[in-house]
């Protein structure tokens, strides 16, 4: 008999930002699966605690969490980045498959933000389903993304009138900024925006650890606020042991 594997988007970590659909699914499954990175990154224990706080707020009755040790990923910018990520996804799929074999019943994977935006949960669940060792029916429950919360916090509209918006990564930013005027950048650990050739030609709306008590927000012209962003980013990391940031870049309209 097929088992339910729900990928539940929890939003950015604030229990008040969990959707009613997500809360309902949390109450329907038998246990929760959580990718646990604390062995390699002890500071991320706070992320585990924030998931627990969400479950305490929204789950009626007892609940159980199964921690899945997250395989280490090659972050040394390998020559074949795509292959390195695919290997990591395969290792993750095997780890979650093992947890499912050891724990019968329906499960929910607790995913930050939205499972369909800058996350590997759907790819990993599909690998598990395709392997067929565990018979699962995959369900995706959307959540509020950091991109949406960034726009709300800065009270802005992500798109310009009649114009496109590009969602990219720090790894691709320099290439995409050469042809784009309006870009959302996810988890740019190196703050690649500071290497843009004309920082005075961009506005930036930046946010870190959105939805958490240590949330950080800065907006302004890139050349004027880049140093403050770097400083606040380190403050967020030091205060919470982790940092996840997102920002919108928009080219300055020349007179």
Q: Do 130 and 153 reside in the same domain of the chain?
A: no
Which of 123, 141, 159 corresponds to the end of one domain? 141
Instruction: Specify the length of the chain in residues.
Output: 255
- Quote the domain boundaries for residue 102: 3-141
pTM, full prediction: 0.90
Give 181's DSSP letter: S
Are residue 27 and residue 133 in the same domain, yes or no? Answer: yes
Tell which of 124, 141, 158 closes a domain. 141
Question: What are the tens digits of pLDDT across the range 149-176?
Answer: 999 999 999 999 999 999 999 999 999 9
H helix intervals, the chain: 20-26, 45-58, 81-102, 121-131, 146-154, 173-179, 222-240
Final residue in a domain of this structure, among 141, 158, 174: 141
Helical axes 121-131 vs 81-102, angle rounded to 10° = 60
Q: Could you report the per-residue pLDDT of 10-58, keeping only the tens digit for each?
A: 998 899 999 999 999 999 999 999 999 888 878 788 888 889 999 999 9
Q: Are strands 65-69 and 136-141 parallel, antiparallel or unpaired?
A: unpaired
The count of structural domains within the chain is 2
Q: What's the whole-number mean pLDDT along residues 63-89?
A: 81
Q: Are 9 and 22 in contact (CB under 8 A)?
A: yes
The answer to whether 136 touches 2, Cβ cutoff 8 Å, is: yes
The single-letter DSSP state of residue 215 is -
Whether 118 and 134 map to the same domain: the answer is yes
Look at residues 226, 205, 118 and name the one whose alpha carbon lies nearest to residue 158: 205
Do 158 and 43 lie in a common domain? no
Question: pLDDT of 201-211, one tens digit each?
Answer: 999 999 999 98
Please tell me whether residues 9 and 118 are part of one structural domain. Answer: yes
**pLDDT the model gives residue 38:** 85
- 8 A C-beta contact, residue 169 and residue 81: no
């Amino acid at each position: 008999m097929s088992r339910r594997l729900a990928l539940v988007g929890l939003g950015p970590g604030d229990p008040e930002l969990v959707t009613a659909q997500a809360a309902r699914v949390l109450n329907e499954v038998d246990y929760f699966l959580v990718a646990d990175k604390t062995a390699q990154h002890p500071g991320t224990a706070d992320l585990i605690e924030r998931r627990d706080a969400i479950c305490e707020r929204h789950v009626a009755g007892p609940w159980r969490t199964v921690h899945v040790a997250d395989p280490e990923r090659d972050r040394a910018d390998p020559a074949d980045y795509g292959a390195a990520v695919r290997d990591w996804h395969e290792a993750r799929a095997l780890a979650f498959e093992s947890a499912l074999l050891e724990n019968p019943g329906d499960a929910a994977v607790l995913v930050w933000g939205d499972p369909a935006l800058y996350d590997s949960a759907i790819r990993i669940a599909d690998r598990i389903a395709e392997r067929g060792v565990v018979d699962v029916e995959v369900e995706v429950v959307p959540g509020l993304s950091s991109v949406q919360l960034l726009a709300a916090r800065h009270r802005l509209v992500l798109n310009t009138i009649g114009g496109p918006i590009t969602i990219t990564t720090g790894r691709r930013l320099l290439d995409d900024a050469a042809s784009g005027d309006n870009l959302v950048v996810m988890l740019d650990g190196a703050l690649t925006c500071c290497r843009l050739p004309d920082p005075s030609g961009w506005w930036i709306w930046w946010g870190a650890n959105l939805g958490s008590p240590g949330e950080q927000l800065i907006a302004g012209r890139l050349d004027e606020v880049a140093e403050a962003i770097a400083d606040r980013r380190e403050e967020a990391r030091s205060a919470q042991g982790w940092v996840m940031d997102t920002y919108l870049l928009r080219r300055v309209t020349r007179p």
